[in-house]
Amino acid sequence: MNIIRKRSNIILFLTIVFFAGLVYHTVNIFVNANDWVLNTRNWHLTEAGNLDYAGSICDCKGNILAYSSNGDRHYNDDESIRKACFHVVGDDSTVNMYNSVQNIYRAELIGNNFLFSFGMPKNLRKGKDITLTIDADVQKAAYEALDGRKGAVFFYNYMTGAVLCMVSTPVYDPENIPSDDELENDEQYEGVYLNRVCSGLYAPGSTFKLVTAATGLENIRNVEKVVYHCNGTDIIGGNDINCEFVMGDVDMTGAIVYSCNCYFGHLTDKLGRFAMTRQAEKMGFNKSIVFDGFESAKSEYDVLELDGNEFAWSGVGQANVLETPLNVAVISAAIANGGVPVMPYIVSGISGVDHEPRQVLGERMMSEENAKNLSDMLDSAVAVNYGKGSFSDTFDVCAKTGTAEVADGQPHAWITGFCRNEECPLAFAVVIENGGSGYREAIPVAAAVLDAAEKSLSDQ
């Protein structure tokens, strides 16, 4: 009797364990469907070319950027558009390009409904289509303006957050993939999988003067009216800070207009490490920016270990300061938008279902009054120094260039700013790696993209 009861207890126990396991795995598949589908052991991914029946990716005008046909993945018909959209769209693999739509939205694109797709032939499974906010023609204009140089271009609407243009170079043509040997050894492909807008960390040079100016405005009353006499050089922290030329008497506007290193080195020294660090962190440093699954590298402002002279140089975006083009653009967006940035977004719809209109606000970076002050200073920089003629007549552009010295080679050429026109509310950042002068090299790129952007926005 006892033996029989023991046996039936064991059978009951095993039955419970079996059903508990079944329930656990079923729930697990439902709850973790997205993780599961990206698991490398999943047969979707271990097959070569798992995008071969995936959904398509379109720009804001309905131009197809990527699609699958007869078991192959294809990209736009125009080679320049394919290359210009390379980093936003991504390649076929899940390992090369972290910050790309085909990586981040892989589960949606290939269709991840386990119960309905398991065992179903791949060509009958239906992945979702994704619509982006970027415009292929603006992408192309940016790609062509970079003209074979390495760099990054980012333009977005500072009122809605919609990204109009995100281009990173170098690239290759996804319809004609270079050999592994070429990709590894050819200098022209150096860092080809890096989306430099999000993941490129560069010395920001004079574009960082916006952070130092904001720190001054936020911490010292009427600082913008204080006049400093620039002799072309100043000794701070026992060593030189130099300007390109002798600028004479400059207030903050003059120092922004002529990009006076001595003024900003002096102001940095006066503000101190605590105030500079606190304000830099308010303006996006030492943390990532995340939007629609894109995740930026952390811009770096860490001055505690620097000597006095290096600390002064940090206030002009040199020393050990590093920044992503994305962060540079978000700071300009905040200045344009009264001190609070609207954060970017790039996915406007998935399979015909529009994403909720999102206007995600970032942390306030400065008071509305100080944003207005800075905006006027950037307006003067264009009007007095760069020349309004640098941009098409129709634009009211406020901007700051940068020529960031680097250890090896030519400086990085920068420009950041925004358009004040109501019909063209774009904030932007452009960097050309080792491109030389920001004034000579970066301004024409921004101007060309603005022309394409205005055309795009007037068509929308």
Q: Which residues bind Zn ion (CB under 5 A)?
A: 230, 243, 247, 260, 262
8 Å CB contact between 136 and 61: yes
Least distance between Zn ion and beta carbon 314 (Å): 17
DSSP assignment letter at 122: G
Least distance between Zn ion and beta carbon 248 (Å): 8
Q: Rounded to an integer, what is the distance from CA 170 to the centroid of its chain?
A: 16
**Rg of the Cα atoms in the chain:** 26
Least distance between Zn ion and beta carbon 400 (Å): 15
Q: Which residues pair with 67 in a beta bridge?
A: 74
Least distance between Zn ion and beta carbon 257 (Å): 11
CB of 262 or CB of 448, closer to Zn ion: 262
Q: Please, which residues have CB within 8 angstroms of residue 13's CB and are 6 or more apart in sequence?
A: none
Location of structure tokens 């101007």: 447
First-residue to last-residue Cα distance in the chain: 83
CB of 188 or CB of 242, closer to Zn ion: 242
Least distance between Zn ion and beta carbon 432 (Å): 24
Least distance between Zn ion and beta carbon 411 (Å): 17
Least distance between Zn ion and beta carbon 263 (Å): 6
DSSP assignment letter at 300: B
Location of structure tokens 């074979």: 148
8 Å CB contact between 400 and 206: yes
8 Å CB contact between 53 and 125: yes
- 132: number of Cβ within 10 Å: 25
Q: How many residues does the chain have?
A: 460
Closest CA to 289 of 315, 244, 325, 253: 325
| Cα–Cα distance for residue pair 413/206, rounded to 1 Å | 10
Closest CA to 405 of 300, 283, 316: 316
Classified as helix, coil or strand, 324 is: coil
Least distance between Zn ion and beta carbon 264 (Å): 9
CB of 228 or CB of 301, closer to Zn ion: 228
CB of 271 or CB of 427, closer to Zn ion: 271
CB of 230 or CB of 319, closer to Zn ion: 230
- 207: number of Cβ within 10 Å: 34
CB of 53 or CB of 228, closer to Zn ion: 228
Q: Rounded to an integer, what is the distance from CA 150 to the centroid of its chain?
A: 15
One DSSP character per residue, 424-442 reads: --EEEEEEETT---IIIII
CB of 294 or CB of 313, closer to Zn ion: 313
8 Å CB contact between 60 and 348: yes
CB of 378 or CB of 449, closer to Zn ion: 378
CB of 206 or CB of 370, closer to Zn ion: 206
CB of 241 or CB of 398, closer to Zn ion: 241
Least distance between Zn ion and beta carbon 401 (Å): 15
CB of 136 or CB of 230, closer to Zn ion: 230
The dihedral formed by the CA atoms of 381, 383, 385 and 387, expressed in degrees to the nearest 10: 130
Least distance between Zn ion and beta carbon 251 (Å): 12
Half-sphere exposure (CA, 13 Å, Cβ side) for 184?
Answer: 3
Q: What angle do CA 70, 292, 114 make, to 5 degrees?
A: 50
Least distance between Zn ion and beta carbon 101 (Å): 44
